[in-house]
């Protein structure tokens, strides 16, 4: 984490940053998150969700309805007419009551599940399926337990021809998440927080256009949670990629996000989209605007918050 503080302090002449992220766009992004909408339309990290609807068929119910061949199951609407737009380089946090379909929505955007109707357009193209440009960080640990840290981080770099460049890239991202010295350890030898950092390094090493995170702090102890959160904020500020995170921690969303989306209960619709222009680093207690927003979101999710 000191690494990042350093990066933040002397932005502009960062050595790691320049080798790791050679595209000029990123340095521009890291200083300025909010862009003019006209310029975003063609950007690779621009996401548009149009009329997204997702239905499941409850087959257990169908089994009970005997003798009716037409009834193949009870239709359960998980997501209903979701329309959203996220700009390039934004950190978006999606909040909602548990079981509302936040994760399903994220998985659909990432291409792991198909929408029943509706369109997902990323960087001007329809999403056809999972892509190495859109990396998903899973809620449970997605590291391959039979590979050590080095091989896990190198997972997305298998097709790199230049061996030396590949090794350099892996080393660089292991350094980025401060796990140097653990290259040859297997995931089970690492703590939960370290495993998360390996997963982040693996995701970032392929230099994706987009990063999806499904409740990435679940299962971490409170302090590790805060540390990794800070790290993610710093990484986002540093690489300036679009990141979409599903979380049930409202505080996380308020501290991290450029834009928050609050979803309703099932059938899930968008209840609120709010752009957050609060200065960083953010402090919910000290910033009256943030505390107000926090209470508003809590109320929206059915909790009359008392600080």
Partner 1 sequence: MTLFWTKKREIIEIKAGTLLPLITFVAVILIWELTIRISGWSTRVFPTPVTVLQGFYELIRNGTLLKHSVASLYRVTVGFYLAVALGIPLGIIIGQYKPVKMLFNPLIQFLRPISPLAWIPLAMLWFGIGDQPAIFLIFLSSFFSLVVATAIAVESINPIYFQVAANFDFSKSEIVKKIIVPAIIPDVVTALRLTIAIAWLVVVAAEMIAVQSGLGYLILDSRNALRMDYVMVGMIMIGLIGLMLDMIMRRFVILKWQN
Residue 266 binds partner 1, judged by CB under 8 A: no
Among 135, 232, 293, 301, binds partner 1 (CB under 8 A): 135
Rounded Cα distance, 147 and 77, in Å: 39
Least Å distance, CB 32 to partner 1, is 29
Among 129, 181, 279, 288, binds partner 1 (CB under 8 A): 129
Least Å distance, CB 239 to partner 1, is 18
Please report the sign of the dihedral spanned by the C-alpha atoms of residue 28, residue 262, residue 74, residue 48: negative
Residue with the two structure tokens 């009716």: 68
The three-state secondary structure class of 66 is: coil
Residue 158 binds partner 1, judged by CB under 8 A: yes
Q: Which secondary structure element, helix H or strand E, spans residue 204, and what is its range?
A: helix 192-205
Chain centroid, CA 250 distance in Å: 15
Least Å distance, CB 118 to partner 1, is 21
Among 37, 124, 145, 281, binds partner 1 (CB under 8 A): 145
Q: How many CA atoms lie within 13 A of 214 on its CB side?
A: 20
User: Per-residue contact track with partner 1, 160 to 199, x per CB under 8 A?
Assistant: --------------------------xxx-----------
R_g over Cα of the chain: 20
Least Å distance, CB 143 to partner 1, is 8
Residue 125 binds partner 1, judged by CB under 8 A: no
Retrieve residue 15's tokens.
């050595």
The three-state secondary structure class of 156 is: helix
Nearer to partner 1, 30 or 242 (CB): 242
Retrieve residue 293's tokens.
């927003």
Which residues contact partner 1 by CB under 8 A?
110, 112, 129-132, 134-136, 138, 140-142, 144-147, 155-156, 158, 186-188, 206
């Amino acid at each position: 984490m000191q690494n990042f503080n350093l990066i933040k302090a002397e932005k502009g002449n960062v050595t790691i940053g320049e080798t790791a992220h050679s595209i000029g766009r990123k340095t521009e992004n890291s200083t300025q998150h909010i862009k003019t909408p006209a310029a975003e339309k063609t950007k690779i990290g621009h996401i548009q969700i149009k009329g997204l609807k997702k239905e499941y068929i409850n087959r257990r119910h169908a089994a009970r309805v005997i003798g009716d061949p037409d009834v193949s199951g009870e239709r359960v609407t998980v997501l209903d007419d979701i329309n959203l737009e996220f700009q390039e380089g934004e950190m978006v946090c999606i909040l909602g009551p548990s079981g509302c379909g936040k994760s399903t929505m994220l998985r659909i955007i990432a291409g792991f599940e198909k929408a029943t109707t509706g369109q997902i357009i990323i960087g001007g193209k329809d999403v056809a399926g999972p892509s190495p440009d859109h990396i998903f960080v899973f809620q449970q640990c997605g590291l391959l337990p039979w590979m050590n840290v080095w091989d896990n981080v190198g997972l997305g770099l298998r097709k790199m021809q230049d061996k030396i460049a590949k090794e350099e890239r892996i080393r660089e991202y292991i350094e980025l998440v401060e796990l140097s010295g653990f290259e040859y350890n297997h995931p089970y030898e690492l703590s939960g927080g370290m495993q998360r950092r390996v997963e982040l390094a693996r995701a970032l090493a392929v230099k994706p256009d987009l990063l999806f995170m499904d409740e990435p702090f679940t299962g971490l102890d409170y302090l590790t949670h805060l540390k990794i959160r800070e790290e993610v904020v710093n990484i986002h500020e540093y690489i300036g990629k679009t990141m979409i995170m599903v979380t049930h921690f409202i505080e996380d969303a308020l501290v991290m996000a450029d834009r928050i989306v609050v979803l309703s209960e099932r059938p899930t619709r968008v209840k609120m989209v709010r752009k957050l222009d609060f200065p960083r680093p953010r402090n919910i207690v000290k910033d009256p605007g943030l505390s107000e927003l926090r209470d508003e979101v809590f109320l929206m999710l059915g909790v009359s918050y008392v600080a």
